[in-house]
Amino acid sequence: MCGITGYIGYRKAYPIIINGLKRLEYRGYDSAGLILYDGKDIKMAKTKGKVSNLEEKITNNITTTGNIGFGHTRWATHGIPNDINSHPHFSESENLAIIHNGIIENYDTIKKELINRGYTFKSDTDTEVLVNLIEEVKKQKGVKLGKAVQIALNEVVGAYAIVVFDKTKPNEFVVAKLGSPIAIGIGEDNTEFFVASDASPFIEYTKNAVYLEDEELAIIKVGKSIKIRKIKDDSLVDANILELKLNLEQIEKGGYDHFMLKEIYEQPKAITDTFRGRLLANKGIIRMAGIDDNIQRLLNANRIIIVGCGTSWHAGLVAEYLFEDIARIPVEVEYGSEFRYRNPIITENDVVIAISQSGETADTLAAIKMAKEKGAFVFGVCNVVGSSIARETDAGAYTHAGPEIGVASTKAFTTQITLLTLIALKLGEAKGTLSKATYHTYLQEMELIPNKVETLLTINDKIKYIASIYKDATNFLYLGRGFNFPVALEGALKLKEISYIHAEGYPAAEMKHGPIALIDENMPIVVIATKKGHYEKVVSNIQEIKSRDGKIIAVVTEGDTTVKEIADHVIEIPETEEGLTPLLTTIPLQLLSYHIAVMLNKNVDQPRNLAKSVTVE
Ligand code: M6R
């Protein structure tokens, strides 16, 4: 949550910061603000609302000169979203300015102490407390900014990625991290530096970056190489400079109206990228270094515990069906947040698979840290390369979906399922729990999935038409069974998060135990009724809905005639192995929620109250 970005060097800082904030807006959009240093003064502008509001405010109020500055886009934690609580924040003297992503948990105690020492506070934020604590340490101890930040951070409890600037020493930034991500872009010969929550704000300027690790503090001075120290013991750390693979095209809309639509349409390529080099269907081989190197650990596991949140948790539920069916390994799927706090029984014989698109989700991260402490082997399934979860896990595999910017997860989900299917098949093959013939059929069918998704995307107009009929409904029900029960949950989540229509996902057979009471002629019900997945039973459920006048939108296998006669609308998916159907049934549900949200004029890419990367517990 919250995006931070900054620049120090020889270029004009303003366009770099404002464009960077637009790219980071997916991380929070309650408010936006920036500072610019013009060689004499710090100019600050901040406002409730979006980066576009900030741009307007700046055009009318401040000049945009200066080669140093930083900005922030906020997902509010402490203090309501208003102009005053927006970042950056000044210290009492206004010599120091700070931007912060995270939470300072003991801010109240520190604040009271600072008030006793004469400090006053303009905002309700924990961040203003931190910048004043740094100022107080600097004053009391007579130390430089870097040291003062280090001492102050040793006094705080919480999570942070911060950038601090001191007007009296205007050639440096002090950057520090614990829990929240921060990347530092390094210009040629250290003539300029960029800081940001992810590399997207500086990708067109440099491909060289350092990702700070937890409890590290960096001092960035123009003309000097970056200096990194451990916050706790002051020891020096070698800067691990990585070469970034990201390119500008990947983070732009490329002619689509919304990132979400672009990302839905990217799925054939994203799924191919997930299995590229791993799936060798003709040879009957699945090659995955992270699995190959640890295969015994996985095969001998008592059970696999999958942790994730939101959409990633849904992908975990699909994996539960796959792992148990294909590899006959017992699986439990847990919300990161619940798992972390319920004193679960974990042994050294357990394997934990953590699923996360961003690799930064605090609940998932906390869960895997605990599992590691208890001796479990932790395997990560992440999209963002070099993310905290990717680094924290014992081994892992990237989904290679490319940047996902729309807050609603789409290609992240299908690529997670692709990767988890490959793992299930690999384990099943090694254990001999599925026949050679089934294994080979799966491999060949998997290769065909991208083309089948491509075909499905051609029915976009039909789905748009269905959306136009039901866009004003106030409730939706999504039903599925087996592999497609999690898809029903995911379809409901997609609709509620971007259209704000209440939607529930249920196992189809559970309908009669409660939700059936909701059904009347105003209730649209999306039912996934693929040919092999308990088909007859689901058809009976559809009949039960029909006899209560519910409106049925059925997702069926190509050529189905039975459901066609009963349902109000039928969406056909190409035939495939039942275990692979979630990769297809998901697509029309994504499109349905997308079109409904657009028709209702909702902000599809940045739905209210949400953020892409949830770095608070
Ligand atoms: O980055 P992660 O996959 O760990 O994120 C987990 C959830 O916050 C995320 O899937 C969220 O539910 C999406 N907005 C759903 O579309």
Confidence at residue 512, expressed as pLDDT on a 0 to 100 scale? 86
Residue 611 has pLDDT above 90, yes or no: no
Nearest to 179 by CA among 422, 435, 47, 2: 2
Q: How far is the CA of 310 from the centre of ligand 1 (A)?
A: 5
Nearest to 69 by CA among 157, 9, 1: 9
Q: Is 455 helix (H, G, I), strand (E, B) or coil?
A: helix
Is 466 among the domain residues? yes
Domain count, the chain: 3
What average pLDDT score do residues 529-538 get?
Answer: 85
Is 216 among the domain residues? yes
Confidence at residue 77, expressed as pLDDT on a 0 to 100 scale? 75
- For 353, phi then psi, to 5°, come to -110, 120
**Which residue range is the domain that position 32 belongs to?**
3-248
Nearest to 566 by CA among 525, 606, 610, 614: 525
| 292 in the same domain as 272 | yes
C-alpha dihedral, 393 to 174 to 159 to 213, nearest 10°: 10
DSSP one-letter code for 516: G
Residue 88 has pLDDT above 90, yes or no: yes
Indicate if ligand 1 lies below 6 Å from the C-beta of 91.
no
Please tell me which residue, 614 or 577, carries the higher pLDDT value.
577
What average pLDDT score do residues 251-279 get?
Answer: 93
- Would you report the helix, strand and coil content of the chain in percent, each value rounded to 5? 40, 25, 35
Q: Which residues contact 600 (CB under 8 A, 6 or more apart)?
A: 471, 499, 500
Nearest to 460 by CA among 256, 280, 185: 256
% of the chain exceeding 70 in pLDDT? 100
Indicate if ligand 1 lies below 6 Å from the C-beta of 357.
yes
Last residue of a domain, one of 200, 224, 248: 248
| 507 in the same domain as 444 | no
Q: How far apart are CA 607 and CA 406, in angstroms?
A: 9
Q: How far apart are CA 174 and CA 233, in angstroms?
A: 17
- For strands 551-557 and 569-573, give the pairing: parallel
Residue that has been written with the tokens 């100022």 in this structure: 135
Confidence at residue 249, expressed as pLDDT on a 0 to 100 scale? 78
Catalytic residue among 43, 138, 262, 612: 612
Cis (ω within 30 of 0) for the bond into 15? no
Confidence at residue 533, expressed as pLDDT on a 0 to 100 scale? 66
What average pLDDT score do residues 577-597 get?
Answer: 97
What average pLDDT score do residues 68-88 get?
Answer: 88
pLDDT one-digit tens code per residue, 114-155:
999 999 999 999 999 999 999 999 999 999 999 999 999 999
Residue 371 has pLDDT above 70, yes or no: yes
Is 614 among the domain residues? no
| 387 in the same domain as 415 | yes
Residue type, 83: D
Mind spelling out the 3-state secondary structure of 519-535?
CCCCCEEEEEECCCCCH
To the query of whether residue 309 is one of the catalytic residues in this protein, the response is: no
Is 243 among the domain residues? yes
Confidence at residue 81, expressed as pLDDT on a 0 to 100 scale? 81
Per the prediction, the chain carries an average pLDDT of 94
- For 445, phi then psi, to 5°, come to -65, -40
| 258 in the same domain as 120 | no
Confidence at residue 415, expressed as pLDDT on a 0 to 100 scale? 98
Is 569 among the domain residues? yes
Indicate if ligand 1 lies below 6 Å from the C-beta of 606.
no
Last residue of a domain, one of 198, 227, 248: 248
% of the chain exceeding 90 in pLDDT? 84
Residue 340 has pLDDT above 90, yes or no: no
Q: How far apart are CA 556 and CA 36, in angstroms?
A: 57
Q: How far apart are CA 568 and CA 563, in angstroms?
A: 9
| 266 in the same domain as 146 | no
Closest residue CA from atom 8 of ligand 1: 310
Confidence at residue 58, expressed as pLDDT on a 0 to 100 scale? 87
Last residue of a domain, one of 248, 269, 293: 248
Is 513 among the domain residues? yes
580: pLDDT confidence band, cut at 50, 70 and 90?
Answer: very high
Residue 2 has pLDDT above 70, yes or no: yes
Residue 254 has pLDDT above 90, yes or no: no
| 117 in the same domain as 28 | yes
| 487 in the same domain as 413 | no
Q: How far is the CA of 357 from the centre of ligand 1 (A)?
A: 7
What average pLDDT score do residues 599-606 get?
Answer: 95
Q: How far apart are CA 592 and CA 464, in angstroms?
A: 7
Q: How far is the CA of 576 from the centre of ligand 1 (A)?
A: 27
| 25 in the same domain as 163 | yes
| 440 in the same domain as 491 | no
What average pLDDT score do residues 565-575 get?
Answer: 96
Helices (H), 374-435: 388-392, 411-431
Q: How far is the CA of 223 from the centre of ligand 1 (A)?
A: 40
Q: How far apart are CA 206 and CA 212, in angstroms?
A: 17
CATH assignment at residue 468: 3.40.50.10490
Beta bridge partners of 279: 286
pLDDT one-digit tens code per residue, 215-246:
999 999 999 999 999 999 999 999 999 998 87
Choice from 318, 333, 334, 361 to test ligand 1 binding pocket (greatest atom count within 8 A of CB): 361
| 282 in the same domain as 238 | no
Confidence at residue 62, expressed as pLDDT on a 0 to 100 scale? 76
To the query of whether residue 2 is one of the catalytic residues in this protein, the response is: yes
Q: Is 103 helix (H, G, I), strand (E, B) or coil?
A: strand
Provide the whole-model pTM: 0.82
Indicate if ligand 1 lies below 6 Å from the C-beta of 309.
yes
Residue type, 303: R
| 493 in the same domain as 422 | no
What average pLDDT score do residues 588-594 get?
Answer: 98
Residue 191 has pLDDT above 70, yes or no: yes
Confidence at residue 172, expressed as pLDDT on a 0 to 100 scale? 96
What average pLDDT score do residues 65-90 get?
Answer: 89
Is 612 among the domain residues? no
Cβ neighbourhood burial of 71 (10 Å; 0-12, 13-18, 19+): buried
- For strands 285-286 and 242-243, give the pairing: unpaired
Confidence at residue 252, expressed as pLDDT on a 0 to 100 scale? 82
CATH assignment at residue 37: 3.60.20.10
Is 617 among the domain residues? no
Q: How far apart are CA 361 and CA 607, in angstroms?
A: 18
What average pLDDT score do residues 49-60 get?
Answer: 88
Mind spelling out the 3-state secondary structure of 217-273?
EEEEECCCCCEEEECCCCCEECCCCEECCCCHHHHCCCCCCCHHHHHHHCHHHHHHH
Confidence at residue 342, expressed as pLDDT on a 0 to 100 scale? 86
Q: Is 300 helix (H, G, I), strand (E, B) or coil?
A: coil
Residue 469 has pLDDT above 90, yes or no: yes
pLDDT one-digit tens code per residue, 397-447:
999 999 999 999 999 999 999 999 999 999 999 999 999 999 999 999 999
Q: How far is the CA of 45 from the centre of ligand 1 (A)?
A: 31
What average pLDDT score do residues 452-463 get?
Answer: 97
| 551 in the same domain as 404 | no
Helices (H), 547-581: 562-566
DSSP one-letter code for 200: G
